[in-house]
Structure 1
């Protein structure tokens, strides 16, 4: 067996990351980038109580962090005027920022419903000076602006009986289920088409998670449900707040992001400075998430009067201006199998690669290894100015000019002669007449996240094993796998090239599996995954030591 930095093959493998999802998730993935809005009674407080800053916890949870009795908390409703809440301007801002949809809080942990509900008088219509249903106003305006609409819904509800819990992992007693069910029924039937339902916190049973999800799917079959409905029942995985994963993840996923990581709800005393650095960091976050296959949901926290904080508006407009100067580099672009580079990220749009230079190398040289498709030209994306470049043994080297036109994240556009083809760095050559042993270092691991029913039980899973093999002759091969399986009841799918075989857990470790045809001078992908996972991020439950190929 040999491992080479440069392998002579007639073709590589597709460099486009395969989404491999159902209709709902395919539609949801196309939303790509949206606006999150945290607006409620907490917005009136603005992170303060009686003029004193409350510096513990997120400001949208100020009632818990400063132990505010509900009667005192409800007094804020008199100041909740919403006089400057302008759904039309919010939608115009979302469009200017390059966003495709809006998700707004229908009810946060305080249990104060920000919509017209028959379940309780503890709501925005009955209690506030505003006296209107902001969800209805915003949903209608989203349709006028060709924006999709979504709702946030907390499963923690202090008004309905949950005690303050700093981890917000309260179980849901049976006595609270009827209110949750009726509120979900109202949200799913009174606001037109909903694209995303964003559940949050608590620790429901699996039966409760399924029950709540079924309400959504009954009334809004095209709505994608996030994973914070828990027990792995959702359609897409919501990562931790502001989390950018270290690598590309299998399955659909989303990063919820805030302009300031300290809070989501309006905070009057929040320091708003270093505008350029903030914009750059958020663009880097959006780009990194998108380049690794995720969606990005960026939050604003309006004041109690409904006005958008000017700094937040300027940040969103600056991000939108950057996206406009790179119209094909992020929105509409796809993730690739290149993964993160030392200098930044890579996206793909048709036959164009976009190199996002987040960390400019000190020598001004950008390298990208494993590119099998011929390059036509390399340009600075914002200006189309030609750049100096060369190809050597499937490695592209680009020299960055000293007079870069932008102050933010720089983008290089690489025009390819055809569809992206890649020679993965771990490609292994099978030598004629010999056996080849693959060990874990030869594989890339598909990753995901799963949970055991709450926020603090989130754990990483291995969903797939993938290796790339190149043969120096056309032949049939067989596999013999050595390792341990944690669940004897599961079946596995082994796919090599276009040939797929289903085997039991016992057969996986006890039998020689094959034959699988491979072609001469071509890279063939070997993948092992669960044949029928219970949910899309389920762990393989396989600890393998080696795979012998003969």
Structure 2
């Protein structure tokens, strides 16, 4: 059992050490709009979503956007024949669009796989920090539908619209990822000055007209996404260094480097977006306040439940975007992460990076199919669930139903097949009596006793080595 917990701890620690980190905001403001409250409640019940980082960077199989950021960090390192000179590299990077031609793009295939896995919502990168739009923006020609882009002549070239439509047809909630910083836009990285880091490269207070142009550009692009792409449920804003200076948390290392005021007027943006998309969930990541309707711990799982809506976003492989021969987490690791996140009351947004050809790696489809097999049996303890004390005990993780009369105890395994002990102790300190105990997916009647705030379940030899018990076994406890 210690192996299982150690495994989860190692996964979390490794993920914490990888790439750019986004600290969870400490102050949560409850939305006052009843439609937003209702949408948040719906979203919280879904528990499992799909994230996709996809852009021209996938053509080179490199980290998304960050290689054009002039910071000396591990994830920003330039590689390849243009790496020696920054300006040459950036020009070559921005020319990737002439090569990026994902002719295998078939979002319906992704929808089918995600639905099979039990995913219920999705978030797609419409524009990352590099400024390349995966939608038909009128604000820039640096986009997938421009004639200079190799994919522009394809009838499905407006990739964001195609992705949203395909997932919406299968009743997924739709989330649009949008980067607030734009390293291609002349009013964010003004060509007059060289960029120094991820931040705006001039003082907006000194050049207010230029900054206003950038604010209008940002507002207009988000307005396009809220207008021409059907019903949208989540506006997922990244690039938390674009923020009012008075919101900077000096205890967070990356926020210490924010020199200038970078207020894009979120009140104006949110007002417009919700007029077009009533009830829209706005996620202004890491900027605590009324426009961060849920928080997004990245590559981490909180040790305890949080007192507000939250979502762990994490990669299925080692990278957010496509890289050749990526290493994918095992099905066991992914299901254990899902269980642990949900036991804390959170949602799990799992990222898969499509290839430059427009498809996922075979491993991604395989993992989703196996997760789906498990969810078919055990999903009732995941969806519509709530956190319940004691949250975990050794390798057992708990959830409860919304109606508060059922607890689910997930027994995690260190191997694909679950080998149950002859006797299993399940602490239940906060209930007075147990009415019924069953093992999801198994018809055999269980023998059990509830005494001294602990449930003791006797398991037959047949159940202990049941071949179809995989990843985690779920005990349904009605009380």
Give the TM-score, by structure 2 length.
Answer: 0.73
- The corresponding residue for 1:37 is 52
For 1:306 and 1:60, the matched residues in 2 are separated by 24
CA distance in 2, matches of 1:48, 1:299: 14
State the structure with bigger RCO (CA 8 A, min sep 6), 1 or 2: 2
SS at match of 2:289: coil
Q: Which residue of 1 aligns with 2:6?
A: none
Q: 2:454 aligns with which of 395, 404, 419?
A: 395
Choose which of 235, 243, 264 in structure 2 pairs with 1:204. 243
8 A Cα contact 1:343 1:366, kept in partner: no
Deviations 1:69-115 (A, max 9, x none): 33201332122112111111111111111111221101001110110
Equivalent residue, structure 2, for 1:380: 439
How big is each residue's C-alpha offset from its partner over 1:425-467, in whole Å with a ceiling of 9 and x where there is no partner? xxxxxxxxxxxxxxxxxxxxxxxxxxxxxxxxxxxxxxxxxxx
**Contact in 2 for aligned 1:113/1:123 (Cα 8 Å):** yes
Q: Deviations over 1:108-158 (max 9, x none)?
A: 011101100111100110032211111111122223222221110011211
Choose from 363, 370, 374 the match for 1:322: 374
Gaps of 5+ in 2: 1-29, 32-36, 65-72, 205-210, 248-262, 415-419
Structure with the bigger percentage of strand: 1
Query: Quick check: 1:141 aligned with 2:166?
Result: yes
2: CA distance, partners of 1:117 / 1:26: 32
Tell me whether 1:118 sits opposite 2:131 in the alignment.
no
TM-aligned CA distance change 1:245 to 1:363, over 3 Å: farther
Q: 1:227 to 1:284 in 2, by over 3 A?
A: farther
- Structure 1 position 364, deviation (Å): 5.6
Assess if the C-alpha contact under 8 Å between 1:196 and 1:223 holds in 2.
yes
Work out which of the residue numbers 306, 318, 323 in structure 2 matches 1:267: 323
Q: Equivalent residue for 1:544?
A: none
| Deviation of the 1:26 alpha carbon | 1.3
In structure 2, relative to structure 1, the CA distance for the partners of 1:371 and 1:45 (3 Å cut) is same
1:78 aligns with 2:78: no
Confirm or deny: 8 A CA contact 2:295 2:309 kept in the other structure: no
Task: Indicate the residue corresponding to 2:215 in structure 1.
Answer: 177
Q: Superposed, which structure 2 residues align to 1:478-497 within 5 Å?
A: none
Q: Helix, strand or coil: the match of 2:379?
A: coil
Secondary structure of 1:57 counterpart = helix
Q: Quote the residue 1:26 is aligned against.
A: 41
For the 8 Å contact 2:62–2:323, the answer to whether it is kept is yes
Alpha-carbon distance change, 397 to 248 in structure 1, aligned in 2, over 3 angstroms: same
Residues in 2 aligned to 1:61 and 1:221: alpha-carbon distance in whole angstroms: 44
The C-alpha deviation readout for 1:295-338, integer Å capped at 9, x for no partner, is: 11111100112111111121112111110121312123332233
Q: Which one has the bigger helix percentage? A: 2
Task: Find the partner of 2:475 among 413, 417, 429.
Answer: 413
Q: Deviations over 1:356-393 (max 9, x none)?
A: 11267988633213142422332221323333422112
- The aligned counterpart of 2:427 is 368
Give the drift of 1:59. Answer: 9.8
For 1:35-71, what per-residue CA distance to the aligned partner results, in whole angstroms no more than 9, with x for missing partners?
111110011011299xxxxx94279999999956332
Match of 2:358 among 306, 319, 326: 306
Shift of 1:289: 1.2
Provide the secondary structure at the position in 2 that maps to 1:141: helix
**Greater Rg over alpha carbons, structure:** 1
Cα displacement string for residues 184-209 of structure 1 (whole angstroms, at most 9, x for unaligned residues): 11011111111111111223116533
82-91 vs 401-410, which moves further: 401-410
Change (3 A) 1:155 1:90: same
CA contact (8 A) 2:389 2:398 kept: no
The answer to whether the Cα contact below 8 Å between 1:35 and 1:300 also exists between their aligned partners in 2 is yes
- 1:130 is paired with a residue whose SS is coil
CA distance in 1, matches of 2:79, 2:368: 24
Distance in 2, matches of 1:59 and 1:385, equals 56
| 1:502 alignment counterpart | none
User: Structure 1: which 5+ runs fail to align?
Assistant: 1-19, 50-54, 418-550
- Identify the match of residue 285 of structure 1 among 323, 326, 337: 337
2:412 counterpart (358, 366, 381): 358
Q: CA RMSD in A?
A: 3.1
Q: 1:421 aligns to what?
A: none
Between the aligned partners of 1:75 and 1:121, the Cα distance in structure 2 is: 12
Q: How many residues align?
A: 387
For residue 213 of structure 1, the aligned residue among 245, 270, 275 is 270
Out of 215, 225, 229, the residue aligned to residue 282 of structure 2 is 225
